Structure 1
Amino acid sequence: MATIDDMGAMKSLLGLSADKAHDELWIGLHYGGHKEWRWSLADKDFYQEGGRKYRNFEGSSNAEMFVRQHNGKWYTGGISTKLFFICYDGNRKGGERYVLVSKAMSWTDAQVYCRSTHTDLVSIRNPEENQAVATAIDELNVWIGLFKYGEHWSDGRNSSFRHWSPDFGVLLPQNCAVMTGRTSGRWGQRSCDELHPFLCTCTRKRVLKVRLEDIQELNDPAMNTAILNQTQQLLNEATLSNHHKMVWKSNSEGQVFTKEQCQEDQEQEQDFCDTV
């Protein structure tokens, strides 16, 4: 069943299901029983060890499923609560990364807004960041990116992307998620025993070989990482999605770039070329 990672994937699915615009289509999200706190921004490279687990709750953390910050302390809030919120923008530096939006929204709508205009709702990984956010919002009461979930994707992936309809409550036991075209793809919940059309995720693996004139220094790990990251960014921008994964394929010696052995037709001798 389909796992949806971001708004780019949502737009692609809406295009594919245009002929079923009024149908409710199963996606791969279902109630899993175990509830835990998770940050909206799911990028694993964003968090150092222990960063995902930082918490600063004042009182009980079990009352509601979303989290707000006020004067540096965290409190829970409900689905119908509308507050100002603070986004994180990974393209900015220092305190400018924390963008206060002075428009009251539900947590789910705030999440969609931050993802479409910046990076995501803010994650807070340590006391220093918690204080920086408190400074950015002054004494306001705002949403941050922490939420409690009990739903899981059928393929086991950890996507924290959600696109619930505004009247969404809590995903109930025995319920699964549907995507509805008539509400711009917003999600709802239905009994998992109901019959609906469904969307599947198809994973494709492609190998791309690159031939270069000069491979000197290209096997340096830092250079490999820089090339891969830049290529990944270009692919994401071209497809409006970040659910592609690129990795280098190395030989038995751990090298990505190697000299290609080529045959000289006239001399029938082997030569070595600085190509890959």
Structure 2
Amino acid sequence: MMEKVLLSIIAASVLCVVSSHVQHQYHFVYEVKNMTEAQSYCRDKYTDLATIDDMEDVKTLTDMVDLNKMVLDEDGQATVWIGLYDDEQLNSWRWSDRHAEVEFTNWAKGEPNNDGSVEYCTEMYDPGVWNDLRCARTLRAVCSSVRGSDVKFILINTTMNWTEAQSYCRANYTDLATVRNEAENQEVKNLTDGEEVWIGLFKDSWKWSDGSNSSFRYWASGEPNNYAGKKEDCVAMNFNHAGGWEDWNCDQNKPFICYKGIFTPSSSFPETTEQFAEIDPKHKMRVSVKMNSALDLNNPEVMEEVLKQLKQRMKEKGVNEDVKLSWKKQPDGKVFHKEKKKTFCLLSPSHRGRSRCTHVKARPHSNAVDTPKSGDKRPAHQYHFVYEVKNMKEAQSYCRDKYTDLATIDDMEDVKTLTGMMDLNKMVLDEDGQATVWIGLYDDEQLNSWRWSDRHAEVEFKNWKKGQPDNYMSVEHCTMMLTTGKWNDERCDRTLRAVCSSVRGSNVTFILINSTMSWTEAQSYCRANYTDLATVRNEAENQEVKNLTDGEWVWIGLFRDSWKWSDGSNSSFRYWKSGEPNGGKKACVAMNFNRSGGWGDWTCDQNKPFICYKEIVPKHKMRVSVKMNSALDLNNPEVMEEVLKQESFETVVERRTLNKLFSIMDIDQQPLHHTVDRQRRRRRCSAD
């Protein structure tokens, strides 16, 4: 009997997957056209303008786009037409649960009114009546859990926008609540205790150019917005905002994305190779096979057994039986190859052809990961997940006793590292069924400091409106400039236009951005395209920004920051999820791994798993190649000392580091060895 082979999909051999469904082959066209022209072009050359079915398609297009070829829009953004448009003749309300018909409604008097032409989602409020509302507003939500004919409604504690609520309900229950009759309406009303909540009804007059019924939407924050009352009936992807969608006037000229519909063989088609020879889309996966024995993985019987296990796994996951699997041979005729260790070399071009190689050993995620910061004077962090639940104070004490402190997070690389480390199987979920863990950030009630987004600027000039800032409901942490030029504190998730600053020496230019966005999005946009969100240093600059806005409310760069790290770090990095922090007596912060690691504020007495960190002093090892003009003995102590004295070495690392390096490089006490290979003599990098 053949020994069992343990499979995991990582990397080793190539597997081809062929599915008999219509697929999309996307094509970017960087020549700019208006929506009508783009549609005609796509229908003539391909099938139609792009239809996008899911986040996998968004990711595919985000990876495909060549920003160097893009003609940017009037806001300096990389936006491209896709096939979605607003059909004025269609004004349909639909349930998020696509199988449900809209037979019962309970609109408040005068609703829905689509105020400002931006209200596409539905809230329920006391006394159980419905109102159409901007989908970007943050509310609690009611989900439904459907088991056969049994329906259970669940009130979610966290506030989020409608799209986030839909994703949350679909991920954790069945969908956002469908209310089919008066009895269910009363049940939801009783559950909410009169609070405003999202339900699953939404208006969808958006149609795909090719007539597809795809219900997938990926609107950017604050979109669609019919900005400034303009007629914005066509949709573009914005690759400066993770591919998020925006409504635009259809007369704008933009690059665009076409698609070609391609079919793969199935039993309903004649089995002719010519029909599909050029357009058969084969999806390739790399498969790693972990073995407990010395099986020959290139043995046909072994490969067949591996395929059987893969097919069984796919069947268990609900993959259609029309998916065919086959192995792809490599140029040497083999399918499997033993995985080699990888070494990454950082080569310094400044040493006249002498290349230095710094070795970074690749390793799988574990419960302890080092995250050295390039150019950061703070010690590197080795993170440790603790899955035992504690309140914030207990977690802090535990981390300080066993490690250094609760986790400080400096950037998105840290967020990505922690997301990769976390083991969901070990997690104790919170009251909302979410995987949340304490980190070291907390709200210091004694601290109420306002700071500029530009961290180099001091807050010396302020122009608050009378009675402001008032931090209404304890959720107003960002600053907008009003019509009068006065300032007001506001919720950071509100969508407004923004003013960026471009700084060149002592010259400062202010730029008004046409798109509306949250304060955090505005900060990211300004930093990516200019210098930062506007810093207003004096009355003259305040007047300049006021004149630029023509009386419209806009974001400027001032924000309130009473949040501190447990270890006293001054890291200004924040990764709040939408609608957070949302105030009340919630002074401690947790990461939510069901929401891409986004942060939320919580009451500190909640019990949660947590993340500690330990400061580490990373050891850097280098292998050094030495080019000689004579037959010197490089292991002679005097020769090694002379090498250490070379100026090119001492300008790279400290002398004591190199001494240590040469002393520990080889266990035979012969640090330097001759290399026969001429290529390796010029640039030699090999892992220990």
Report how far residue 95 of structure 1 moved: 4.7
In the alignment, structure 1 residue 139 sits paired with structure 2 residue 187: no
Q: Give the match for residue 318 of structure 2.
A: 234
Report how far residue 19 of structure 1 moved: 4.1
Query: Matches of 1:135 and 1:89 in 2, distance apart?
Result: 17
Report how far residue 89 of structure 1 moved: 4.0
Give TM-score, length-normalised by structure 2.
0.27
Where 2:185 maps in the other structure, the secondary structure is helix
Distance 1:174 1:81, change over 3 A: closer
Q: Give the match for residue 225 of structure 2.
A: 170
User: 1:213-224 to 2 correspondence within 5 Å?
Assistant: none
Alignment partner of 2:178 out of 123, 128, 139: 123
Q: Give the match for residue 196 of structure 1.
A: 255
Distance 1:235 1:201, change over 3 A: farther
Can you list the C-alpha shifts for 1:107-135, whole angstroms capped at 9, x where unaligned?
Answer: 23333443444443222233333233334
Q: Give the match for residue 59 of structure 1.
A: 109
Where 2:222 maps in the other structure, the secondary structure is coil
Which amino acid in 1 is paired with 2:58?
M
Q: Give the match for residue 244 of structure 1.
A: none
Where 1:52 maps in the other structure, the secondary structure is coil
Can you list the C-alpha shifts for 1:129-185, whole angstroms capped at 9, x where unaligned?
Answer: 323333433332101121223322111223332211112143563531111233222
Report how far residue 33 of structure 1 moved: 0.9
Q: Give the match for residue 123 of structure 2.
A: 68
Query: Matches of 1:168 and 1:20 in 2, distance apart?
Result: 23
**Residues 145 and 151 in structure 2, CA contact (< 8 A), matched pair in contact too:** no
Query: Matches of 2:132 and 2:245 in 1, distance apart?
Result: 23
Can you list the C-alpha shifts for 1:70-120, whole angstroms capped at 9, x where unaligned?
Answer: 243212223453211122345798454x33222222323333443444443
Where 2:248 maps in the other structure, the secondary structure is strand
Alignment partner of 2:133 out of 73, 77, 80: 77
Distance 1:180 1:88, change over 3 A: farther
User: 1:1-276 to 2 correspondence within 5 Å?
Assistant: 1-15=49-63, 17=64, 19-20=66-67, 23-41=78-96, 43=98, 46-47=99-100, 51-64=101-114, 65=119, 66-70=121-125, 71-90=127-146, 94-96=150-152, 98-171=153-226, 173=231, 175-193=233-251, 194-200=253-259, 202-204=261-263, 206-208=265-267, 234-235=318-319
Query: Matches of 1:8 and 1:206 in 2, distance apart?
Result: 22
**Residues 59 and 75 in structure 1, CA contact (< 8 A), matched pair in contact too:** no
Unmatched tracts of structure 1, length 5 or more: 210-229, 240-276
**Residues 95 and 136 in structure 1, CA contact (< 8 A), matched pair in contact too:** no
When structure 1 is superposed on structure 2, of 108-117 and 141-150 the one drifting more is: 108-117
Give TM-score, length-normalised by structure 1.
0.62
Query: Matches of 2:134 and 2:51 in 1, distance apart?
Result: 25
**Residues 3 and 201 in structure 1, CA contact (< 8 A), matched pair in contact too:** no
Alignment RMSD, CA only?
Answer: 3.4
Count of matched residue positions in the alignment of Structure 1 and Structure 2? 210
Distance 1:119 1:208, change over 3 A: farther
Unmatched tracts of structure 2, length 5 or more: 1-48, 69-76, 269-313, 324-688
Report how far residue 30 of structure 1 moved: 0.9
**Residues 27 and 200 in structure 1, CA contact (< 8 A), matched pair in contact too:** no
**Residues 39 and 123 in structure 1, CA contact (< 8 A), matched pair in contact too:** no
Where 1:197 maps in the other structure, the secondary structure is strand
Query: Matches of 2:53 and 2:182 in 1, distance apart?
Result: 29
**Residues 40 and 120 in structure 1, CA contact (< 8 A), matched pair in contact too:** no
Which amino acid in 1 is paired with 2:62?
L
Residue identity (%): 29
Which amino acid in 1 is paired with 2:259?
C
When structure 1 is superposed on structure 2, of 111-120 and 123-132 the one drifting more is: 111-120
Larger radius of gyration: 2
Which amino acid in 1 is paired with 2:233?
N
Can you list the C-alpha shifts for 1:38-95, whole angstroms capped at 9, x where unaligned?
Answer: 225253xx23xxx323211121223232211124321222345321112234579845
Can you list the C-alpha shifts for 1:216-236, whole angstroms capped at 9, x where unaligned?
Answer: xxxxxxxxxxxxxx9797138
Which amino acid in 2 is paired with 1:149?
D
Query: Matches of 1:37 and 1:63 in 2, distance apart?
Result: 13
Distance 1:163 1:135, change over 3 A: same
**Residues 25 and 199 in structure 1, CA contact (< 8 A), matched pair in contact too:** no
**Residues 123 and 146 in structure 1, CA contact (< 8 A), matched pair in contact too:** yes
Where 2:257 maps in the other structure, the secondary structure is coil
Query: Matches of 2:171 and 2:245 in 1, distance apart?
Result: 17
Q: Give the match for residue 285 of structure 2.
A: none
Report how far residue 26 of structure 1 moved: 1.8
Where 2:205 maps in the other structure, the secondary structure is strand
**Residues 37 and 146 in structure 1, CA contact (< 8 A), matched pair in contact too:** no
Which amino acid in 2 is paired with 1:26?
W
When structure 1 is superposed on structure 2, of 181-190 and 200-209 the one drifting more is: 200-209
**Residues 63 and 76 in structure 1, CA contact (< 8 A), matched pair in contact too:** yes
